[in-house]
Structure 1
Amino acid sequence: MGRSRYKIYEEHYPYFITSGVVDSIALFKDPELVQLILDGLIFLQKKRGVEINAYVILENHFHLIAKGENLGKHIKNFKSFMAHQVIEVLKKKKDLLSLNKLRQAKRDHKTESQYQVWDEGFHPKQLFTYEMVAQKLDYIHFNPVKRGYVDQPSHWRYSSVRDYEGETGLIPITIFNG
């Protein structure tokens, strides 16, 4: 799984996953780039059998609670595909500032690309108990509040919190029932 020292061993448990944009570049201020991530999450669910229980997308990272067979491989491939898609959108928009930042942030050992979008790895944390899942659900859903972006979790549109409040979110998820 590349250079990451983080691994997924027991696939029947859900995992809390964090992945950040290299150098904390705020790519996901652009709704078009956020939509790429949302579409990618839908693909993971429909085509790769990944169960997504919660998510939040912020300006420079995302968090998920997910589980499934080959989850590590699927997340790695998701990030790789999303990186290519992000670069293509930035080129189409002629966003030279963002492209230059991603070019400068590229690690020397990354010889297959001119750019680097993601930090290496994706930091999965296995959630063994319902209490651990509940804590991470709160963390995910209150993250935009804690950062001062909104006053209520449901005011942040790029999150699964609305699903947990009985409303319809932007993408389908599997509500975690414990």
Structure 2
Amino acid sequence: MKEGYVIRDPSLPHFITATVVDWIDVFSRKNYRDVVIECFDFCIQNKGMILYGYVIMSNHIHFIVQSKEGKLSDLIRDFKKFTAKTILDKIQTEPESRREWMLERFKLATESHSRNKNFQFWQYDNHPEEIYTNKFMWSKLDYIHLNPIRAGIVAKASHYIYSSASNYVNDCGLLTIEKADNPVVDVLNLNNFARYNDY
């Protein structure tokens, strides 16, 4: 793992990216996106997860997360382990036209790592970035919420239900998140915040 991307202070919020191996578009299907939502909800209710923002794209998720217990690495590990197991079970037992191809890719991914015996779903690196200022928090929230617009999925960020944009714009969403403080208004953030008002 690169020196710059290590969780040094597990009590602080971090921007995390979890990517499916080989960038497989697993989350183009609603049932797999819903697994992520359900797991986030469980971790918020039972595992001390504080979730400030998230987006589920077709083959990766971004989220800003903090642990009430100060055990962020354990929380992320458990989140990835549970979602991987549940989604892999669904791929094998529910209707899935891409089943054989997907399982073959997940099987091949285990050959370079001894930790997984049968299938590897997530890439190992989470690319954690410590949220050290309010300005940095909002730059990452903007990045998260603008992802579906950049991908051409929606015209307004709040229209994409598998993100926290609507929590910030309309005060509602699929999950109950911890809303970040209002952004520091400067030239850079003012432009981003103006876009938020258009969501």
**Could you tell me the TM-score, scaled by structure 2's length?**
0.82
Q: Which has the higher contact order (CA 8 A, sep 6+)?
A: 1
Q: Quick one: distance in 1 between partners of 2:127 and 2:142?
A: 18
Name the counterpart of 1:137: 141
SS in 2 for 1:16: strand
Task: Kindly state the Cα deviation for residue 96 of structure 1 after the two structures are TM-superposed.
Answer: 2.2
Q: CA deviation at 1:4?
A: 8.1
1: distance between equivalents of 2:42 and 2:63?
A: 15
Identify the residue that residue 195 of structure 2 maps to in structure 1.
none
**Secondary structure in structure 2 of the residue aligned to 1:90:** helix
> 59-68 or 87-96, which moves further after superposition?
87-96
TM-score using structure 1 length: 0.91
1:34-80 per-position Cα deviation (integer Å, ceiling 9, x unaligned): 11111111121111111000000000000011111101111011111
Q: 1:49 maps to what in 2?
A: 48
- Residue ranges of structure 1 left out of the alignment (5+ in a row): none
On the 8 A contact 1:57/1:63 being kept in 2, the answer is: yes
Rounded to whole Å, the distance in 1 between the matches of 2:175 and 2:113 is 35
Is contact 2:11–2:71 with CA below 8 Å preserved after alignment? Answer: no
What are the ranges of 5 or more consecutive residues in structure 2 without an aligned counterpart? 183-199
Select which of 100, 103, 119 maps to 1:99.
103
Q: Which residue of 2 aligns with 1:149?
A: 153
Contact 2:16/2:128 (8 A) holds in 1 = yes
State the AA in 1 paired with 2:23.
S
Q: What is the RMSD computed on CA atoms of the aligned residues?
A: 1.7
CA distance in 2, matches of 1:12, 1:108: 32
- Number of residues of Structure 1 aligned to a counterpart in Structure 2: 176
How far has the Cα of 1:111 moved from its partner?
A: 5.3
Contact 2:55 2:63 (C-alpha < 8 Å) held by counterparts: yes
Q: Give 1:78's aligned residue.
A: 79
Q: Structure 1: how far apart are the matches of 2:153 and 2:170?
A: 22
Matches of 1:38 and 1:63 in 2, distance apart?
Answer: 13
Aligned partners of 1:104, 1:13: CA distance in 2, in Å? 35
Distance 1:34 1:85 in 2: 11
Pair 1:15 & 2:14 matched: yes
What amino acid is aligned across from residue 158 of structure 2 in structure 1? S
Asked if structure 1 preserves the Cα contact closer than 8 Å seen for 2:107 and 2:119, the reply is yes
**1:166 CA drift (Å):** 2.6
Counterparts of 1:18 and 1:37, CA distance in 2:
13
Aligned sequence identity (%): 30
Please give the alpha-carbon distance, in whole angstroms, between the structure 2 residues aligned to 1:105 and 1:10: 30
Separation in structure 2 between the aligned mates of residue 93 and residue 126 of structure 1, nearest angstrom: 38
CA distance in 1, matches of 2:2, 2:29: 28
Q: 1:18 to 1:111 in 2, by over 3 A?
A: closer
| Larger Rg computed on CA atoms | 2
Cα 1:133/1:43, change in 2 over 3 Å: same
